[in-house]
Amino acid sequence: MAFLLAGSVLGAAPCLAQGQQKQARPFAVGKHRASKPKAASKTPRPELIEVNARRRDFNHPAAQHLPDADTRLTAERLTQRGVVTLRDMERVAPNLTVQSINGTASTNFYLRGAGFNDFTQNNMGPVLTYFDDVPFAYSTMASGLMFDLEDATVTPGPVGTQHGQSDTGGEIRFRTADPTDRWHYGASQDIASYARSRSEAYISGPLARNLSFRLAGQTRQGGGWQNNPINGDRLGDADSWALRGKLKWTPDSHTTILLSGHFVQDNSEVVTAVPVHRLIGSAPLPKLSHQQAEWSSRPEFAQLIGRKEGIKPSEHNQFWGWDLHFSHDFGYATVTSISAFETEREGEYTDQDGTAQSQADTYRTVDANAFTQELRLSNSRPNDRFQWVVGAFYQRSQMQQRFFFDYTDYVPARGYLQATNFGLNQESTSEFGHVSYRLPHHVTLFAGLLHQLDDRGITGLQSQIFGGKTLNFHAENTASSQFAGQVGVSWQIMPRELLYYKMSKGFKPGGFTANNTQIQAQLDPFKPETVLTYELGFKSDPIPDRLRINAAAFYNDYHNQQILGTVLIPNYGPLSEITNAPKSESWGFEGTLDIHPFKHVFVTQNLGWQRGNFQDFPTVNRAKTNAYYARTGTWKAINDNFGGVDNGQPKLTLNGEANWRQAIAPGYGIEFGPDWSYRGSQAITPGGTGFYRLPPYFLLGAHVTVRPSSERWQATIYASNILNRQYYESGGQATTTYFYIPGAPRFIGGRISCGF
């Protein structure tokens, strides 16, 4: 009976952590839920409590019959694992790496090894981010929006035949909580080491007949853990707030209109780089402990960029947008329209050389906006043998960027201030369709097709050396027209065992490298990327509510894979440039294991393994080129072909958690257990060895949560990186140094939340 009570207390996903209403869980306990009368009684029936506990861990039962390798995550799981930013998603999904660019809010994604490092963020990424079915043209636009969530889904492999845009690597989709037709409200407060504070609140309810709203907000403060040994300054404090509002109107039982808007202000400091190797010059690098970092900010540079003297590496960003969802069910088909507009206003200061000298201090401004429109028509009858969806998607985006560089102490090679600015215009349209047909003997055939046109151009690029020459470059354009698609078969072998096989072709348009341009040839567009993916997977619940095994194996055949390579600019030095590897491949597998071996114990384990190599990739060998310059003082391109070289992505990723759930008093329960994550070694540059490779790391965390059966509040004590391991999240190269971005040290905190 103790276990049954623990199921009541800890089994249902609480609205406490994120404030959402879990109407889809009919056995959840609490007056604030849309529950069956028996489950809402003060003394629930034991058998219902037992089901409740199992439903919590073996969630998404309908998805067990879908032929995909998606990772589906509840809001409760995200909260428990401390997922509050896009970067944190790599801790809860297999074969996923999400890395900050120079410690900032800008991110690069790698899913099943598909991804590329784009510092300027002006190109379409191989993994798209969606919020409420709206794709974000630039990943930075999603910064600060991960609060008041309903759930999240990570989809690996080519996408685009059922919704949104085509892509080669996959997508990460977030669903935020919708307005409710009954009043609900709640708040949470999270306080941790280094004066870190995270606060959330929401209110939701009816405004009039068939009209309801939801308003949610978040603030984040403190948490800076780096310090400068020269002057003792602390770095890394968060300073951001965000609001999201939703208005829902259901004029009749077949029609829903949902209007949403959000605003984010982020003035947070960023984690700064730690130099690990000097590429140019002979000055010694600073000797730093794990929580130390050096940075510089010359008054002349601060005046140039219009910021106050003594500026620290930091963000000064604003993001806002709106989206309008309309759906109507005609009985035989449902029409859905999604219109959205997103903006980005970014000011970002980074010290990329990681020293007290001004050798690669950078300030970037971004002014971007994107409009998207999706229209689709789909079958309204889920039990029909024939299922179908057809639709169209349109996107128009515009961007203006300006980079300021302080090379004053990079002498004799440069020793000046420099600025580069450019504009980008992009427009794309696509049409897509997907069908499936259920044959006898539980066999289903499915196929999808997408056609996409993309046109983008870079304009007005200028590179200016203050006190020196100014270079102006003419505009460049690139256009592409490609097909993508999917075909496959699934077989429901037994009621709880599914086997599927599918082939998918993905497409991603070309683009431009626009950072630190010195010659016109650097603006030559790189080509579109295509991939043919073969995937075999299965889903199984061999012991219902006790054991779940989901796994998939894949092979990716890439043509013109877009990757950050190297070019040598005469009398200037090597620079990064996005280019194409004509032929490459990757393969691997991923799996998720959910176990409830005996009462009280629940375990989830994600495993991802992948390998890949370039079969043909001519480029400049950066390491050999730098070594030649160090010996001779002359820049000479050492060309190489990385054919047969490993793609450098982490071969093994692991993450999981174990929980013990127990009743501690009548009407109260406790949950506690560890969580863990591991990421293998990663090469930052193709063929990278030594300091060009990020070392592997393993992190361990834990939590203890207490909450009553009413679930109107909960209290948690948690710790991350308990062992206080020194590790690095990402890396890169500035002009004179090669650097790593260090990961956070041990954090110990507490979180309390309530919801009504």
Q: What is the pLDDT of residues 335-381, one digit of tens each?
A: 999 999 999 999 999 998 999 999 999 999 999 999 999 999 999 99
pLDDT value of position 1: 33
pLDDT value of position 40: 37
Amino acid in position 222: G
- For residue 49, what are its two tokens? 């409590």
User: Could you tell me which of 70, 89, 221, 224 has the C-alpha nearest to residue 146?
Assistant: 89
DSSP designation for 511: B
User: Could you tell me which of 145, 156, 22 has the C-alpha nearest to residue 606?
Assistant: 156
Q: Which residues of the chain have pLDDT under 70?
A: 1-57
Coil, helix or strand for 339? strand
Q: What pTM value is reported for the model?
A: 0.89
Q: Rounded to whole angstroms, what are the CA distances from 163 to 130, 134, 159, 169? A: 11, 10, 8, 15
CA atoms of 323 and 345, how far apart (whole Å): 18
pLDDT value of position 733: 83
Measured in whole angstroms, the distance separating CA 628 from the mean position of its chain's CA atoms is: 38
User: Could you tell me which of 46, 6, 51, 5 has the C-alpha nearest to residue 28?
Assistant: 51
Q: What is the pLDDT of residues 456-498, one digit of tens each?
A: 999 999 999 999 999 999 999 999 999 999 999 999 999 999 9
Q: Which residues contact 24 (CB under 8 A, 6 or more apart)?
A: none
Domain boundaries, the chain: 2-755
Q: 126 and 466 in contact (C-beta within 8 Å)?
A: no
Is 2-755 a domain of CATH 2.40.170.20? yes
Q: 72 and 60 in contact (C-beta within 8 Å)?
A: yes
